[in-house]
Structure 1
């Protein structure tokens, strides 16, 4: 199907304009548009620009609502409970993380429980936000109303993709940022594969009959051929990563980010769609009585990076390195976007009277 190399900044401007036309005020549209392009630049295409088609549909249908503010449910100083009121997830998560940062800097520790946010996107962005403020952070996420993943040993759906992110500051943006879905692959990666992108591993999904497969149709069914494939339409499911260990972590995300926040789990009750995020933020100085935290992190990261690589690997990397390398490369050479995705974005722009914004998107 091929791909196009698009100018990242101009593409972010176009996505922002699409979201504004769909009702988002300018600041909210810019946060979301920039987040989508940044996710793709860092190699997380599943949470990147491909999502604009779904956001456009959700905003038009009212499934996700523009310009919703965080509602404070409870505030006990170091612990905040927030309701996103079904708004745009990236805007709400940026603001919730900023509140957590302020409280952690004041109290040494903050717990932030966020419920009913729209799709919050790449979770590592919020770990990076905390790292930029010098804080360690852990983020557990679930997606209520999104049964996509089969627990280990099962062919039935009972879990969302349930991502986890951990950030440890290392200075100058060279931070340890671990960010992964607890499903074998993120749902968006199945969407990318189904729309002409990188194929999935041979056993990333399971059919309704219990057979492992790489075919995204197990997840999307016949809707894979539509403009906005529905991941709930197939008879199969995504599998968890790491067999029973990954499955256990995924279930923990449902319990922490779903049950504890009040967002709802993907059990027998049908909860409205929405992301829950349970975040822990720590100011290292509160625990660093010996004054060695920054030095220990730096020495250990350097030690790991300097280890001899295994055969076929050029060098050892820490979590966050691959994303930073792709970011630099794609900023310089252009953002590769599968042709069907680029065509879908162009079609939306056309329907919204933004066809003139398509000029000069291509690099080179």
Structure 2
């Protein structure tokens, strides 16, 4: 396994051109590429351009609409439901977050449920849109069923990420962005490409036994909820994942639980599924609806500083504030480029050849 490093601009241009070849408008191609590149810059390689081939394969199966009519289908002053028209979640979710932000600007908070969408990239991208407006951002999505609930061996839920983003003053925003499973599926895909086992407690085989090899997931196994097993608190991860699924899909009219459509093109959605496509839930809250923004930011800075200076177990490892590692990765990769493993580069070049585009060099 080797790493090949590319500049941000090289990957951005390549990704935009792939989306344009799929039939996306220039605006949508640029936005979709921005979401993926943001993941790579922040070191979340599982959700960056490594995912691009998956979107192409879904488009080839006509499960992604490159020219969607994204629209509000139900609305109150502070809430809305958006139909993504089977568009890229990378485009649909920012549309919904803009609606949430506009409502928050008028009424203090805005909440938008989304149906008929697809994989929306990193949740942090959408939550940070609210932070840019001095708001607290909230982003959830359900996903393909890969996770077994506590005491089960059946795949019933997705990795179902949850993200909160809080603005601060002199410090960067605090971003809590995590899967509600023990690990995101993309991390298993990376481990499989690298020929590595995964840590104990991430997955189980088809019979519910502990497993270490990523291939066990593809052979009918399942991811475990956050907490791993009942003795280590998996019921808490199950509860969080269920909350994401209900808010994202049951509330919006998207497909939920085991009926959520798979991200992989070789698997068809289950027949007679309730709801339409994947679902998201986006929220924005004005901080000044609770207290003056500068007072809040000042206290956030104090909160961050105090936690960063919490007494460490090891003097060489201080407390890490949520979002801090991703920010450090972004600073580094903007200067030194984005590393991709050769297997990902090969996949991208295969897609480029199929679409008549120049390969990555």
Calculate the TM-score normalised by the size of structure 2. 0.90
Matching residue of 1:151? 149
Distance 1:21 1:85 in 2: 19
SS at match of 2:85: strand
Distance 1:325 1:293 in 2: 24
Task: Using the TM superposition, give the Cα deviation of residue 315 of structure 1 relative to its aligned residue in structure 2, in angstroms.
Answer: 2.4
Task: Using the TM superposition, give the Cα deviation of residue 346 of structure 1 relative to its aligned residue in structure 2, in angstroms.
Answer: 1.0
Task: Using the TM superposition, give the Cα deviation of residue 172 of structure 1 relative to its aligned residue in structure 2, in angstroms.
Answer: 6.5
Distance 2:281 2:170 in 1: 26
Matching residue of 1:292? 295
Matching residue of 1:330? 333
Per-residue CA deviations over 1:270-293 (Å, capped at 9, x if unaligned) read 357732112232101111179732
**Do 1:69 and 1:92's aligned partners in 2 also have CA atoms closer than 8 Å?**
no
Task: Using the TM superposition, give the Cα deviation of residue 49 of structure 1 relative to its aligned residue in structure 2, in angstroms.
Answer: 1.0
The ranges of structure 1 where at least 4 consecutive aligned residues each deviate by more than 4 angstroms after the TM superposition are none
Per-residue CA deviations over 1:84-106 (Å, capped at 9, x if unaligned) read 01101111111111111111011
- Structure 1 range deviating more: 210-219 or 289-298: 289-298
Q: How many residues align?
A: 343
Matching residue of 2:247? 256
Task: Using the TM superposition, give the Cα deviation of residue 188 of structure 1 relative to its aligned residue in structure 2, in angstroms.
Answer: 1.3
Matching residue of 1:83? 83
Distance 2:315 2:185 in 1: 29
The aligned runs of 1:59-98 (5 Å cut-off) are: 59-98=59-98
Distance 1:40 1:199 in 2: 23
The aligned runs of 1:72-151 (5 Å cut-off) are: 72-143=72-143, 146-151=144-149
The aligned runs of 1:224-235 (5 Å cut-off) are: 234-235=219-220
SS at match of 1:86: coil
Matching residue of 2:18? 18
Q: Cα gap change, 1:37/1:172 in structure 2, threshold over 3 Å: closer, same or farther?
A: farther
**Do 1:264 and 1:271's aligned partners in 2 also have CA atoms closer than 8 Å?**
yes
Per-residue CA deviations over 1:182-209 (Å, capped at 9, x if unaligned) read 1111111111111227752222111001
SS at match of 1:282: strand
Match of 2:321 among 318, 323, 348: 318
Per-residue CA deviations over 1:221-260 (Å, capped at 9, x if unaligned) read xxxxxxxxxxxxx311111112111111111111111211
SS at match of 2:130: helix
- Structure 1 range deviating more: 302-311 or 83-92: 302-311
Q: CA RMSD in A?
A: 2.0
SS at match of 1:80: strand
Unmatched 5+ residue regions in structure 1?
221-233, 360-364
SS at match of 2:43: coil
Task: Using the TM superposition, give the Cα deviation of residue 81 of structure 1 relative to its aligned residue in structure 2, in angstroms.
Answer: 1.1
- Structure 1 range deviating more: 165-174 or 38-47: 165-174
Unmatched 5+ residue regions in structure 2?
228-233, 260-271
- Structure 1 range deviating more: 51-60 or 211-220: 211-220
